[in-house]
C-alpha cells in the first residue's frame, strides 16, 4: 500500500487533458488565436516538463509517503510552490491567454493579483497558513481539504512567479531590479518557517505521531529534515533565480552600453 501510486481518476484524466489541450492550442488550433505565433521548442519543453513534475508531485509515491513523512510532504509542497510553476509559466505563450482577458473584469483582476506586493502576500499567507498545525492536520485527514490545499498552493505560486516568468504583454514582468529585490524577500518567510520547524523541540503535527515510521526515520528526525528542506533548498531556489535575473540584466546593460 505504501509504495502505491495515487491513481485518483480525476488526476489521471485532468493532467493528460491539460497536456493535450496545450498541444492542440499551440498546434492545429493556433489559427483560432489572434496574434498567435509558433511556440519555440524550448518553451514547449518547459511546459511539458512542468506538467511531468506536477504528475510526479501528485501521482507518484511521493503523494503516498507525504501521509507518513513530514519531509516527503514538504518535498511535495516545494515542488508545487517553487519548481512546477516557473516551468509552466515559461512555457505558456502570452497569446494563449488572450481570450481570458475578454471576460469582464478578468484583466483588471489579473493585473491586481500579479502585482509583486499582492502576489508576495497572497502566496506567503497561503503557504504559511497551510503549515499551521491545525490546518495541516485537517488537510491530511480530509481528502477534499487536501485537494484544496494543493490547488491553493499551486495557484498562489503561479501568481507569485508571474512577475518573473509571465509571458503575457497585458501582464508584464517586473523590472529586473524589482525582480531581484522581490525574489530576495520571497526567500525570507520560508527560511524563517523552515528554521522554526527545524529547531522545534516537540512534535508540531499530531498526525505524524500516529503514523508508522518508515525506513527507521524517527519522528523528530523527520520533522527536522522537513524544516531543513524548506529552509535550505527552498531559499536556494529563490537565490538561484535571483542570480540569473541579475546577471542577465547586467549583461543586457553591457551589450546596450557597447
> Residue 165 and residue 155: Cα distance in Å, rounded?
14
Three cell numbers, residue 72 = 516527503
**Does 177 fall in a domain?**
yes
**Does 21 fall in a domain?**
yes
**Does 4 fall in a domain?**
no
- CB atoms closer than 10 angstroms to residue 64: 17
Contact between 185 and 120 under an 8 Å Cβ cutoff? The reply is: yes
**Does 1 fall in a domain?**
no
pLDDT at 254: 54
The whole domain housing 226 covers 9-257
What is the model's pTM?
Answer: 0.94
> Residue 245 and residue 63: Cα distance in Å, rounded?
32
The number of residues in the chain equals 258
pLDDT at 1: 47
Q: What angle do CA 189, 187, 250 make, to 5 degrees?
A: 155
> Residue 239 and residue 161: Cα distance in Å, rounded?
13
**pLDDT per residue rounded down to tens, the chain (258 residues):** 445 898 889 999 999 999 999 999 999 999 999 899 999 999 999 999 999 999 999 999 999 999 999 999 999 999 999 999 999 999 999 999 999 999 999 999 999 999 999 999 999 999 999 999 999 999 999 999 999 999 999 999 999 999 999 999 999 999 999 999 999 999 999 999 999 999 999 999 999 999 999 999 999 999 999 999 999 999 999 999 999 999 999 888 655 544
**Does 2 fall in a domain?**
no
Contact between 127 and 190 under an 8 Å Cβ cutoff? The reply is: yes
Range list of β-strands (E), the chain: none
> Residue 87 and residue 237: Cα distance in Å, rounded?
13
**Does 47 fall in a domain?**
yes
Q: What angle do CA 159, 160, 162 make, to 5 degrees?
A: 65
Contact between 129 and 135 under an 8 Å Cβ cutoff? The reply is: yes
pLDDT at 3: 58
**Does 74 fall in a domain?**
yes
**Does 30 fall in a domain?**
yes
Alpha helix segments (H runs only) across 60-142: 61-65, 70-78, 84-91, 94-97, 106-113, 116-129, 133-141
Q: What angle do CA 115, 117, 119 make, to 5 degrees?
A: 65
Which string of DSSP letters, residue by residue, matches 14-57?
Answer: HHHHHHHHHHHHHTTTGGGSTT--PPPHHHHHHHHHHHHHHHHH
Residue 93, burial from CB neighbour count under 10 angstroms (0-12, 13-18, 19+): buried
Reference 162, options 103, 130, 99, 118; nearest CA is 118
Contact between 119 and 162 under an 8 Å Cβ cutoff? The reply is: yes
pLDDT at 40: 96
Domain count, the chain: 1
Reference 66, options 123, 139, 125; nearest CA is 139
Amino acid at each position: 500500500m505504501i509504495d502505491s501510486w495515487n491513481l485518483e481518476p480525476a488526476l489521471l484524466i485532468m493532467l493528460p487533458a491539460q497536456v493535450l489541450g496545450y498541444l492542440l492550442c499551440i498546434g492545429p488550433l493556433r489559427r483560432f488565436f489572434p496574434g498567435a505565433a509558433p511556440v519555440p521548442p524550448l518553451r514547449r519543453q518547459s511546459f511539458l516538463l512542468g506538467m511531468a513534475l506536477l504528475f510526479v508531485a501528485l501521482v507518484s509515491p511521493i503523494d503516498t509517503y507525504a501521509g507518513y513523512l513530514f519531509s516527503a510532504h514538504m518535498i511535495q509542497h516545494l515542488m508545487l510552490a517553487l519548481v512546477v510553476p516557473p516551468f509552466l509559466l515559461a512555457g505558456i505563450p502570452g497569446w494563449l491567454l488572450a481570450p481570458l482577458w475578454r471576460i469582464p473584469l478578468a484583466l483588471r483582476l489579473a493585473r491586481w493579483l500579479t502585482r509583486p506586493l499582492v502576489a508576495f502576500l497572497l502566496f506567503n499567507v497561503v503557504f504559511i497558513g497551510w503549515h499551521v498545525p491545525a490546518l495541516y492536520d485537517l488537510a491530511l485527514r480530509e481528502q477534499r481539504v487536501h485537494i484544496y490545499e494543493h490547488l491553493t498552493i499551486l495557484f498562489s505560486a503561479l501568481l507569485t512567479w508571474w512577475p518573473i516568468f509571465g509571458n503575457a504583454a497585458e501582464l508584464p514582468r517586473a523590472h529586473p531590479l524589482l525582480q531581484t529585490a522581490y525574489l530576495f524577500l520571497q526567500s525570507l518567510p520560508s527560511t524563517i518557517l523552515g528554521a522554526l520547524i527545524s529547531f522545534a523541540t516537540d512534535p508540531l503535527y499530531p498526525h505524524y505521531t500516529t503514523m508508522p515510521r518508515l525506513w527507521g526515520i524517527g519522528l523528530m528526525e523527520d520533522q527536522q529534515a522537513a524544516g531543513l528542506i524548506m529552509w535550505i533548498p527552498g531559499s536556494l531556489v529563490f537565490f538561484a533565480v535571483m542570480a540569473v535575473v541579475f546577471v542577465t540584466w547586467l549583461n543586457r546593460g553591457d551589450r546596450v552600453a557597447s
